Amino acid sequence: MKTWGGRFEGGPDPTAADFGRSIETDVELAFDDILGSMAHVRALGRAGVLTDAEVEALLAGLEAVRADIESGSLRWDPALEDVHMNVESALEARVGPAARKLHTGRSRNDQVSTDLRLWLRRTIDDLDGALVGLERALVDLARRNVDAVMPAHTHTQPAQPVLLAHHLLAHVEMLERDRSRLADARRRANVSPLGSGAVAGSGFPLDREAVAAELGFAGVTRNSIDASGDRDFVAEALAGFAIAMVHLSRLAEELVWWSHPRLGFVRLADAFSTGSSMLPNKRNPDPAELVRARAARVVGDLAGFLAVLKGLPLGYQRDLQEDKRPLFESARELRRSLEVLAGIIASLTVDEARLQAAAAEGHVTATAVAETLVELGVAFRSAHHVVGRLVRTAEVDGLSLEVLSDDAVTAALRESDDESVRALAGDPTTAARLRAAASIEGALARCNVIGGTAPSRVADELAAASRRLGLA
């Protein structure tokens, strides 16, 4: 092991060497490793460690290695342990002994932290585009079904009527927070650790700020021990990935149930459905189900990596090598899940009639009726009790609140122990007002606040989301 074997009499046990290698995983950092190495070469040149000719040769060699990687002609050697040593070996094959000067003033500890930050920065940018793609699909679906009404639920029971567009925009809000959360993680990761060395800092006069600027970092890390030995930026990104996947899993769960024939709210396109090897009748929402399962994997990646970090003293530990697999896997699954859900939503068919029928169940306009009583001078607690009696009557008679008779409404009012309620029993207009409030349209119109489901408010939010996403 020419990278560190001088103080050892023999080579490592083959089993131990195989156990410790990471090239199969960290090869994903190859381009980031070359980018960081080129900036380091220039820094060594400015510091007088390398001659101008050496800088020119090493930069040309690194460009050639990058071209080999892009063409697929570079063979990765597991015996060289990781991507860093593979790149350095390929560079030496190109430029000769000068390549052995590349690692001057740095350690694989600050090198890999730099690579990871570069990778994470561009990955989050890529994921942001995928998040926007799903948001656009949701907003477009809402605009195609702008008048569709559905029941909103609490405790998985019918609660109040809302516009389908309002429900879809709730998912958009969650995705916007995911974008913001990942942008925050990107900002904190966007500092350069190069020059921190193994743990104490570089022993050469490297201009760390110039290197950071060249690589597009916002600044440099301020403590070499922290920079080389911590991975909280990885944990933060994993947390953002996990939360986003939980949001996607909730959307997937709804798609699974909404597409059930018993509900029939939506129909997934053939391209996003599967059949059964045994049951000819089946039409399965498999992609949505897999999103739920992949969310569990990403949550597990976060929990597992936090468990790795929790017992580590300061300074680099080899345990940190295990940061890449969960990070790469989680980002990949988030991206794939965003793409498949965007495809499902973009091709989804909504059955507005089935949604409307569901919105008529469960007496979901009861709150609007109670609020109308409040407008007539009744305390809310008394109004709540009266409308509860009306709901019970409607259930017994198999009717909706909207069609209860004058006699039924008057009886409920007279049974109240609140004088202000009983006084309304003598007003011939009360029952008609309460029935009007019990309509779906009346209940929707009442929620006329910022963030509410009144059609005018939802139209405003749809327009705002369309403008923000470039759909206006």
Active site members:
155, 276
Amino acid residing at 171: H
Tokens representing 229?
Answer: 């030995």
What's the CA gap between 142 and 184, in Å, rounded? 29
Coil, strand, or helix at residue 149?
strand
Give the E-state strand segments of 164-274 in sequence order.
191-192, 219-220, 266-267
Coil, strand, or helix at residue 159?
strand
* CA distances for 173 relative to 187, 244, 341, angstroms: 21, 12, 16
Amino acid residing at 467: R
User: What DSSP state is assigned to residue 203?
Assistant: S
**Which residues, other chains included, contact 300 with Cβ-Cβ below 8 Å and sequence gap of 6+?**
none
Side-chain half-sphere CA neighbours of 148 within 13 A = 23
| C-alpha of 465 from chain center | 18
What's the CA gap between 424 and 415, in Å, rounded? 12
Cβ neighbour number for residue 175 with a 10 Å cutoff: 22
The answer to whether 257 and 151 have CB atoms below 8 angstroms apart is no
- Which among 102, 39, 34 is positioned nearest to 64, based on CA atoms? 34
Q: Tokens 């190495």 — which residue?
A: 37
What's the CA gap between 89 and 64, in Å, rounded? 13
* CA distances for 121 relative to 38, 160, 215, 227, 364, angstroms: 18, 42, 11, 17, 46
Angle between helices 164-189 and 232-258 (to 10 degrees): 170
Query: Phi and psi for 192 in degrees, rounded to 5?
Result: -90, 125
10 Å CB burial of residue 76 (0-12, 13-18, 19+) is middle
Angle between helices 83-95 and 30-46 (to 10 degrees): 60
The answer to whether 271 and 347 have CB atoms below 8 angstroms apart is yes
What's the CA gap between 292 and 272, in Å, rounded? 15
105: left (phi over 0), alpha (psi -120 to 50) or beta: left
Q: Tokens 């990765």 — which residue?
A: 76
